[in-house]
A and B are shown apart, each in its own frame.
Chain A
Amino acid sequence: MGTFRGIVVDSLNDEALSYANIFIEELGRGSSTNASGIFHITSIPPDKFYTVKVSYVGYVTKNLKVYIGRGQITEEKIQLTTTSFMMETIEKLGRLERAPNEAVVSLENISVKSLETLPKGVEADIFRSLQFLPGVQSTGDVSARYNVRGGSSNQNLVLLNGATVYSPFHALGLFSVIDPEIINSVEFYKGGFPTEYSGRLSSVMSIVTKEGNKNRYSGRASSSYLSGKALVEGPYPYGSFFISGRKSFSTDILQKFLNNQNAPLEFYDAAFSASYSNPKIISGRKFTVNGFVSGDIIDHNDPSKENYKWFNSIYGLKWFQVLENSPLFYQFNINVSNFRGEQNPNNSGSRYMKNEIADLSMRTSINYLFPSNDEVMAGIQIKEIDSRLELENIRGGISAIDTYGANISFFAKYKLMRHKNFGLEFGTRFNITRIAAGTAGENFMEPRISGLYRLTDNLSVKGGWGRYFQEFTTVSDENALLTIFEPWIVSPKYLKPASSDHFILGFEFEPIPVISLELETYYKLLSNVPTLNEQKYYLEDPDLLPAAGTAYGIELAFDYYFDIFKLSGGYTWSRAEKELNGFKYAPRYDVRNAANFILQADLGNEFIASATFSYHSGMPYTQIIGYYDKAYFTDLANRYLRYSPYLMLGSKNVGRLPDYHRLDFSLSKVTEFYGLKLYLDVSVLNVYDRGNIFYFERDTGKRVNMLPFLPTATVKLEI
């Protein structure tokens, strides 16, 4: 038998293409590239030429002839050429850009190219695009924070080149700190994530940055209402690099998102990557170093108002090694992720807070492909965390919560891929330590399994179960609709690590080549979820209490290609419930019905139009049931009390806000301008000026709506 392996890259810049399809026509099977653009196909009958079809969204499908030798590994670097996004030439690739028997559940591979054609608010944004996925609930127009399948927003892990991003939002949560221009691939797991991922209960977004153009030097610059940005990339001997930066220059448009509140906000982010792979020294080895910094500052320059600062800095080194003529490859990563946030109250009356996290992670993993096409993977991860939260207590004194600890975990999984119509993936993660100090000897297992069975060529059933733990939490008030400072702390040792179990069952169906349907049901059990103790009155009372929860739902997604159009959509029916101290209630993100549609059209002559429509039923809120005169202690010693009207609230989150819906349009055009490539985009948000309620002011009953009708435009210039 023989093996075919290689890398799929963009012909213009040699950038690796993740999740491209590789299909061997004669065998009727294939594989897909991983996040690094690499693929392996084993157990190929040898001594023959095969027709290999390589396809990827937005690229022209390539057919090539490959000779497979006996007992040999045939390597190939396959270059794909981008299409001009003419719909007539785009092939139907379906939603599944992976092997037909790969047992993966709840995974969305997000195409960065598709972001460019979606209507933009202030910036094209990866987080904003999530709201179109079934099972993902946006927290509103005002924030790109998201909830996944009945989990709170602090249960979502965001990884950049394998490093945790602790504060992934710019501008009070309006959009992501990670500029889409630097992204190569995005994997987003809504649940059931495999053993290589850990640390959060609900979702994982793994973002891998580009490595830079390997063929020529290039640069691009763009501007929007809000910020300017630039990227330079190019080759050097045995490697390539990119460096990019983005900085705000006007925040006027943010007022539209922040209910006309003026936020004197400044933000920036910058990233770089450099790779080196010299086959003359050791073939198959590649080193990549990358870095990322971001900052957000709100400085009112007014002592009566509070100021805020947030900073991320991430640096990483990756060593990837493919052994010559061997089905073995391994990878070593070391990452440092630092976060610092500060809320300086000045004389505003709010409380001082400062949060610092230093996260050093080392991880190594090894993959081995059996001739049967099965694959085994094993690894170890050591995560050392130093966190500090300084808080002003009720007396004005500063108290600090410090944690220094390490999580050491082993992970392993086996992928059963030998059967054409059946795939199974099972494994576990064994955490031999907890991060929380004083928990020596505590360990926990995270077993996971998923499977797929292809009933017919166009219908498959899949399912999975997994257990997940989370030791980090934010100190956030569940009643807060909008809070801009959510410090992270390690869950205290008096709480067991928060855990969740995901049960997933689904179907994939392609009735005809231009239509694909996917249905997934999930049931999620949450326990020991740290929740702020609203009834902490004494110093020795715990700050956090363990809550339990359940979430379940059905998600349906489809893609339909016709003429010059692509129509995508999704519908979610879901329920979420939380229990604290024996009291059950619907959390604020318990949205029961949600639907999204995206219609894209290639109008020719480099014009692309798109329309998006989002709907969800109303979020829960607590109703007003009356007022009473509450006694305030002006001078208790002299029994001097002041009486003032006070709201009486009903049972928590029993009421429902009105439904949300919004229609956006976008028109983009690529053209030549004095030899430069010019990208123009005009978007209209909330086309019919729907008054979607954000909240109502309890004092006045005034309804505060989210984003109004808003036209925006962006210009991007590529050199």
Chain B
Amino acid sequence: MKKILSTISILGLLFLIGCDDSFDPKADFEQEYIVNGIIRCDTTYQVVYIQTNYNPDAFNPFEYNVNTFISGASVTITYDDSVYTLQESTFEIENNERLSGTAPCYVIDNLSPDVGKLLYLNIVLPDGTTLNAETLTPKYTRLRFDKNSDALIPASDGFLDIEWEITDGDKYRQVYLPEVKIAYYKIEGNDKIYNEKTIPLNYIDRRGELVPNYPLPNNRSHLSFEMGAIDKTMELISEGDPEKQNYVVLGAVFQILLLDNNLVPYYMSTETFLGGYSIILDQLDYSNINGGSGIFASYFTDRTFFIRMDNLYIKQFGYSVN
């Protein structure tokens, strides 16, 4: 009898400890302020957004629809010993995966910083919290596109290769974001609606969904685009529109964006993908905001280079040529 009782006791104990432990992967929530201020040096209009972080009850942040933008802050940018004050405005929330409607932002329309200059951001929030950050605008760099480049669409060997040469500046620390776009306009009555479509290097099949793979920031001087990706970009210009002849393709444009030293690591933290069997627990993030999180950075568009497109190639998609 004793043995039976002992066995039952042990089995009961094992059953109890076999139950899953309750486990909450979240730590206590602490409010933090997030700044997004990306200064474009080749325009005068600049905008800064301030938000708070948030903590949804469960693990689906997309269902957390509380507007977290902050109004009533004092936002200044110091540049060349002058202090520029950004005015509070509102904007229509677009491209935000959990919010819609309008929200406050801070804008200025007369700040076009020169290359190689220090910008200092200072924010005083309504609760007295101070946030600050700085960016050194990218230096101007001389670029020379390869005169011998056969850049022509369509490329005969299945890849569009573009080469350029960095002839000045810091070849090693300066980072570029190269882009190739197809420039076109659509005829709507008497109007011409101009637009551009960025070409990815290729398309990646991620679990059944084709995802464009755009160039990442780098400091090399060569890019290779799959012709299949260019074909698909051409198709997407008029996707769903049977009136193909209303689209006039002007050609392809290659341009380079010069990024400051904050944008590169920030950009990298948004671009990760692993093999299907790998499990990465901790993701990278980057912030240069003192007292909070987010990014204050700068960039400008450098040279533009036109890539010839064969008229027959344009017409095979049903489009018109200029």
List B residues 172-222 near A (Cβ within 8 Å).
172-173, 175, 177, 179, 181, 196, 198, 201-208, 211, 213, 215-216, 218-220, 222
Q: How far is the CA of A700 from the CA of B25 in the complex (A)?
A: 11
B interface footprint on A611-626 (CB within 8 Å = 1, 0 otherwise)? 0000000000111111
List A residues 437-486 near B (Cβ within 8 Å).
477, 479-485
Q: Is B68 an interface residue (CB 8 A)?
A: yes
A477 touches B280 (CB 8 A): yes
Q: Which of B15, B52, B173, B301 has a CB less than 8 Å from the CB of A538?
A: B173
Q: How far is the CA of A482 from the CA of B280 in the complex (A)?
A: 7
Instruction: Name the B residues within 8 Å of A639 (CB-CB).
Output: 38, 40
B interface footprint on A673-692 (CB within 8 Å = 1, 0 otherwise)? 00000000000000111110
Instruction: Name the A residues within 8 Å of B207 (CB-CB).
Output: 304
Interface of A is mostly: loop
Q: Which of A303, A350, A701 has a CB less than 8 Å from the CB of B25?
A: A701
Q: Could you count the A-B residue pairs with CB atoms below 8 Å apart for me: how many are there?
A: 227
Shortest Cβ gap from B55 to chain A (Å): 5
Instruction: Name the B residues within 8 Å of A394 (CB-CB).
Output: 216, 218, 271
Q: Is A627 an interface residue (CB 8 A)?
A: yes
Q: Is B147 an interface residue (CB 8 A)?
A: no
B285 touches A482 (CB 8 A): no
Q: How far is the CA of A17 from the CA of B208 in the complex (A)?
A: 56
A636 touches B177 (CB 8 A): yes
Q: Which of A261, A349, A642 has a CB less than 8 Å from the CB of B277?
A: A261
A interface footprint on B51-86 (CB within 8 Å = 1, 0 otherwise)? 111111011111010001000000000000000000
Q: Is B5 an interface residue (CB 8 A)?
A: no
List A residues 282-318 near B (Cβ within 8 Å).
298, 303-306, 308
Q: How far is the CA of A700 from the CA of B301 in the complex (A)?
A: 39
Q: Is A348 an interface residue (CB 8 A)?
A: yes
Shortest Cβ gap from A492 to chain B (Å): 18
Q: Is A383 an interface residue (CB 8 A)?
A: no
A interface footprint on B257-286 (CB within 8 Å = 1, 0 otherwise)? 100000011011011011111111111110
Q: Is B224 an interface residue (CB 8 A)?
A: yes
List B residues 111-125 near A (Cβ within 8 Å).
none
A627 touches B55 (CB 8 A): yes
Shortest Cβ gap from A271 to chain B (Å): 27
**Known contacts A631-B38, A699-B59; A347/B204 CB under 8 A:** yes
Instruction: Name the B residues within 8 Å of A705 (CB-CB).
Output: 20
Shortest Cβ gap from A543 to chain B (Å): 14
Q: How many residues of chain A get a CB closer than 8 Å to chain B's CBs? A: 90
Q: CB-nearest residue of chain B relative to A639? A: B40
A305 touches B219 (CB 8 A): no
Q: CB-nearest residue of chain A relative to B56? A: A627
Instruction: Name the B residues within 8 Å of A698 (CB-CB).
Output: 25, 59, 281, 283
B273 touches A350 (CB 8 A): yes
Q: How far is the CA of A309 from the CA of B107 in the complex (A)?
A: 54
Q: How far is the CA of A303 from the CA of B26 in the complex (A)?
A: 37
B216 touches A303 (CB 8 A): no
**Known contacts A629-B98, A648-B293; A343/B275 CB under 8 A:** yes
Among listed B29-37, B233-241, B243-251, B306-314, interface-contacting one? B29-37
B270 touches A700 (CB 8 A): no
Q: CB-nearest residue of chain A relative to B261? A: A537
B32 touches A626 (CB 8 A): yes
Instruction: Name the B residues within 8 Å of A49 (CB-CB).
Output: none
A622 touches B23 (CB 8 A): no
B257 touches A636 (CB 8 A): yes
Instruction: Name the A residues within 8 Å of B96 (CB-CB).
Output: 629, 642-644
Q: Is A716 an interface residue (CB 8 A)?
A: no
Q: How far is the CA of A683 from the CA of B208 in the complex (A)?
A: 39
Q: How far is the CA of A637 from the CA of B32 in the complex (A)?
A: 29
Instruction: Name the B residues within 8 Å of A699 (CB-CB).
Output: 59
Shortest Cβ gap from A307 to chain B (Å): 10
Q: Is A663 an interface residue (CB 8 A)?
A: yes
Q: Which of B17, B30, B202, B268 has a CB less than 8 Å from the CB of A626?
A: B30
B201 touches A538 (CB 8 A): no
Q: How far is the CA of A258 from the CA of B276 in the complex (A)?
A: 12
Q: How far is the CA of A565 from the CA of B62 in the complex (A)?
A: 58
Q: How far is the CA of A63 from the CA of B21 in the complex (A)?
A: 55
B274 touches A395 (CB 8 A): no
B51 touches A629 (CB 8 A): yes
Q: Is B148 an interface residue (CB 8 A)?
A: no
Q: How far is the CA of A693 from the CA of B24 in the complex (A)?
A: 12
Q: Which of B18, B26, B294 has a CB less than 8 Å from the CB of A689?
A: B18
Among listed A30-38, A548-556, A654-662, interface-contacting one? A654-662
Q: Is A514 an interface residue (CB 8 A)?
A: no
B267 touches A482 (CB 8 A): no
Q: How far is the CA of A142 from the CA of B53 in the complex (A)?
A: 35
A349 touches B211 (CB 8 A): yes
Q: Is B288 an interface residue (CB 8 A)?
A: no
Q: Which of A482, A622, A631, A700 has a CB less than 8 Å from the CB of B278?
A: A482
**Known contacts A537-B264, A538-B175; A646/B54 CB under 8 A:** no
B interface footprint on A513-529 (CB within 8 Å = 1, 0 otherwise)? 00000000000000000
Q: Is A628 an interface residue (CB 8 A)?
A: yes
B172 touches A626 (CB 8 A): no
Q: How far is the CA of A553 from the CA of B117 in the complex (A)?
A: 54
Q: List 26 A-B contacts (CB under 8 A).
A: A263-B277, A304-B208, A394-B218, A395-B201, A395-B220, A395-B223, A396-B224, A481-B280, A482-B279, A483-B275, A537-B175, A537-B265, A538-B172, A539-B219, A625-B30, A628-B32, A633-B267, A640-B95, A642-B97, A644-B97, A645-B98, A647-B283, A648-B285, A690-B17, A698-B281, A703-B20
Q: A628-B294, A633-B267 are in contact. List 6 more A-B contacts (CB 8 A).
A: A394-B218, A482-B277, A648-B32, A648-B285, A658-B23, A697-B59
